Structure 1
């Protein structure tokens, strides 16, 4: 990550007293406007049920269009994400990355669910930004 972007982020203990796990820049400097992480997880469209997965789950992120992303890497959320990745395959190739469920994700940006919000002691130094992607899959040669 550092070689390509000039900075690297990682999960660590939060500086907030009640923050638990957080995300920090461990090498380099992040330029303004750069992407520092993504919010991985199971995506629920507004009409899909999420009741049981949402119980006592602080990792549910609501998008502006009503879509929900469950970024919890434990408990029922972990089981649902793994199940969907095993189900949604093209032959031997999974369509989802299971490594973000571990302590060492292959994609170093897949730590967005651990980014803490501002507090009275620390101002926010990152902001959530929703972005879409095309619904069509283009294969390159």
Structure 2
């Protein structure tokens, strides 16, 4: 083979190997796993950008502490509840400690995209597992 053909074959082989490597690359945004005994809350769709995870079955947390509070933060965009108890989303009025339950996440439930105008996931201020109530667990 002459030199030009050798170079052409080499360039073709490199192009195929580089192109094949690009096609076989893993996805850039893979979901983040949630353990079997945890509640996991994510700031992005498809279980990406986990901001909160707990295995507690009777406690409450202030969502803004985890970048999941009401707008202008993004709220809870996807979730997995692998706990054996429900998780309740709460709106809490800070001035007088009145609280309103907005939604319940059942044991074993999940959503890869809560967006679409669901008020509870966009605007909740607290989340409690089991029968816990925010006024018993969160100090403002």
TM-score normalised to structure 2 length: 0.25
TM-score by length of 1: 0.25
Q: Which has the higher strand share?
A: 2
Report which of the two has the higher share of helix: 2
